[in-house]
A and B are shown apart, each in its own frame.
Chain A
């Protein structure tokens, strides 16, 4: 049998109900069609869950996958994907950096697939020599920072811990899957921490020292040495200021939301910017495995009302969600909010969205002091923001409701609360405004996990990606070509998510670079065209996962506030995205019908004919859904 390069050649299967574990080989044919990460995860999840699978039941499959470049010297190739049916009700996908993915691969596994559920809390200990399901009752309730050293003491000092916090244990739909302890890396989105909690799986601890087999190691190293300097130069601002360096320009063009998406300007952005962080609380930069960029922030707040904070610092999304979305301009308070989210295991984007929603509900009188335990939910008060983070993380007080996410909270509150609960498919919007960059309207509406800014990398519209057929920049508020662009960029971004390479190398990377990395690692002879087809296949399989659940065009919608309430001041310039035209162009580019359903021809072309029986019997055009 031909040796397999770039992969360890097997996944670890874990049945927590039995309980038992076993190794399962991976076929190279399967890997060439799906690569790894989210693409391969789509294949597993589609086949091993059913439309009626309860996301928080033992029937759900919780998947952790690396990719072929993980464990190599390819820049930023240290990521891993977490995949399951989301507790929000559909395709669930998130990913994280740090060192856990690389260590898992060095333990001899390309991934771990967890089915069933344990009766009592457990953790998984994985090395090349040993796999064990161990009791974790004594760890249940610990936050992710505190559990990290405890688990290292029980296993190995150089082991890497992936864990949930109290939010995941208590099944909050905002719960993240965290890794690397105080370094605070998060697979934040889509509530997958709750899936892990439903299985009573507190943590997965991995350690390994196996080399990843590389087909052409010298040539790969040579290529990395050629490409890394370009990447480093093009990502300099991220290194100097983190993703938070994007706050000031995002604010200037109206991309960063303010006060639950109701204001166009806010004169406090500089106080929560990456520049201010660099001048004050920044203590160092964090590099994930194999990273040469170093966008991660290490901060310390040693004194004052929000001390102590020490470890991972807030990124752009967190600074906006806990900052401008709530009108909180205190950087140290946001840093503490970030640490609390990390410790409890919360998605900072959704948590900030839920808090901003609650603030508006209180302002409108839909929540009262009786609902909040006497806490006046006022805009701009750091202590209110921090109290709500704690209540959501521990599922106490009003946090129990908010931890369900804004969709569920609005339904329970009623009386028009849905009007200002901003989400797509139940997932709170990321901190980028489609009224500023209109491609986001289609990207948010169509991405299978919900309102996701990572599925498309909308900033690419300012540059184009020449070698994937999208050659020139498109004006940010001109709809022409945006539907097509979003489809192309979703497929392209999906490649990064399947290879498990960070999208932040995009400024220094061509599609052809991905081809070279992959072929030199695996020994394959994949072309860029084939690679883009793999990305398209993954996009369509995720779509079919949701179609099988009954989703269609009626679910490809945006909140009314985004489509109908223009912001008269600020960089968005009183603009509303013409959603319908862009969406229809997107469907046409994808080879989907007017109802947003992939056609049999499209599925056959992509080798997904086995999903055709799951198409709805009569797919008819729907009306224009805008709200």
Chain B
């Protein structure tokens, strides 16, 4: 049965509860399916996924999954024996779609980032905004 080793940087290692794990599968598996399996097994990871779910653009702002220097898309197939690094994202990208309009419909909602500090939407203009970490 094919398998691959996944190495997690923080915060994923806290969400999954371990630094690395080996995942086995039958047939073929994509990165999307890996995320689905991990999310099913690890509630803290599930709670921290983008509200859009496991969707390409949203996930790219959460993580960079890299094998031998290549950043994987969700449809990329994980190869047998691969060593997969699950890391924080590169320095950000740009919104590309209007799907975010859905998010905006929830006006004034609290920005929930469970598992880390919850940064309340509170812009104090005119004063230095300091919040402890």
The residues of A with any CB-CB pair to B shorter than 8 Å are 71-73, 75, 99, 102, 106, 209, 222, 224-230, 232-241, 243, 245-246, 248-250, 252-255, 270, 273-275, 278-279, 282-292, 294, 298, 316, 457, 459-460, 462-466, 471, 476, 504, 506-510, 570-573
B66 to chain A, nearest CB (A): 4
Question: Which of A71, A287, A465 lies at the interface centre, i.e. has the most chain B CB atoms within 10 A of its CB?
Answer: A287
Q: Would you call A250 and B90 a contact (CB within 8 A)?
A: yes
Q: What is the size category of the interface that chain B forms with chain A?
A: 35 or more
Q: Would you call A236 and B66 a contact (CB within 8 A)?
A: no
B133 interfacial by beta-carbon distance below 8 Å:
yes
A127 to chain B, nearest CB (A): 15
| Distance in angstroms between the alpha carbons of A249 and B116 in the assembled complex | 20
CB neighbours (8 Å) of B66 from chain A are 249, 252-253, 571
CB neighbours (8 Å) of A75 from chain B are 123
Contact of A248 among B70, B88, B92, B111 (CB under 8 A): B88
Q: Would you call B130 and A252 a contact (CB within 8 A)?
A: no
A225-B121, A226-B104, A229-B106 known; A466 and B96 CB under 8 Å?
Answer: yes
A290-B125, A294-B131 known; A507 and B88 CB under 8 Å?
Answer: no
Give B82-118 as 1s and 0s: 1 = Cβ < 8 Å from A's Cβ atoms: 0001011111111111001001101111010100110
Give B60-84 as 1s and 0s: 1 = Cβ < 8 Å from A's Cβ atoms: 1110101011110000000000000
CB neighbours (8 Å) of A286 from chain B are 130
A225-B121, A289-B129, A464-B94 known; A246 and B88 CB under 8 Å?
Answer: yes
B88 to chain A, nearest CB (A): 4
Q: Would you call B109 and A229 a contact (CB within 8 A)?
A: yes
**CB pairs A–B below 8 angstroms (20 shown):** A106-B126, A232-B111, A233-B50, A234-B92, A238-B91, A238-B92, A239-B117, A241-B88, A246-B91, A249-B87, A250-B90, A252-B64, A252-B69, A286-B130, A287-B130, A290-B125, A462-B90, A504-B92, A509-B94, A571-B69
Q: Would you call A230 and B104 a contact (CB within 8 A)?
A: yes
Q: Would you call B103 and A237 a contact (CB within 8 A)?
A: no
CB neighbours (8 Å) of A238 from chain B are 91-92
A294-B131, A572-B69 known; A243 and B51 CB under 8 Å?
Answer: no
| Distance in angstroms between the alpha carbons of A570 and B96 in the assembled complex | 30
A232-B121, A274-B88 known; A507 and B95 CB under 8 Å?
Answer: yes
Contact of A508 among B87, B95, B130 (CB under 8 A): B95
CB neighbours (8 Å) of A255 from chain B are 90
| Distance in angstroms between the alpha carbons of A179 and B94 in the assembled complex | 28
CB neighbours (8 Å) of A254 from chain B are 69
Q: Would you call B133 and A237 a contact (CB within 8 A)?
A: no
Q: Would you call A507 and B94 a contact (CB within 8 A)?
A: yes
CB neighbours (8 Å) of A273 from chain B are 9
A434 to chain B, nearest CB (A): 15
CB neighbours (8 Å) of A240 from chain B are 11, 88, 116
Contact of A237 among B57, B69, B89, B97 (CB under 8 A): B89
A226-B107, A240-B116, A275-B9 known; A249 and B88 CB under 8 Å?
Answer: yes
| Distance in angstroms between the alpha carbons of A111 and B114 in the assembled complex | 41
Q: Would you call B93 and A462 a contact (CB within 8 A)?
A: yes
A312 to chain B, nearest CB (A): 13
A233-B51, A275-B10 known; A459 and B119 CB under 8 Å?
Answer: no
A275-B10, A287-B129, A289-B125 known; A463 and B90 CB under 8 Å?
Answer: no
Q: Would you call A99 and B92 a contact (CB within 8 A)?
A: no
| Distance in angstroms between the alpha carbons of A245 and B61 in the assembled complex | 12
Contact of B131 among A234, A287, A506, A570 (CB under 8 A): A287
Q: Would you call A573 and B69 a contact (CB within 8 A)?
A: yes
CB neighbours (8 Å) of A230 from chain B are 95, 100, 103-104
CB neighbours (8 Å) of B61 from chain A are 233-237, 507
Question: Within residues 27 to 57 of chain B, which ones have a CB less than 8 A from any CB in chain A?
Answer: 50-51, 57
Question: Which of A73, A239, A509 lies at the interface centre, i.e. has the most chain B CB atoms within 10 A of its CB?
Answer: A239
Q: Would you call B69 and A463 a contact (CB within 8 A)?
A: no
CB nearest neighbor in A for B108: A225
CB neighbours (8 Å) of B51 from chain A are 233
| Distance in angstroms between the alpha carbons of A226 and B119 in the assembled complex | 15
| Distance in angstroms between the alpha carbons of A230 and B87 in the assembled complex | 21
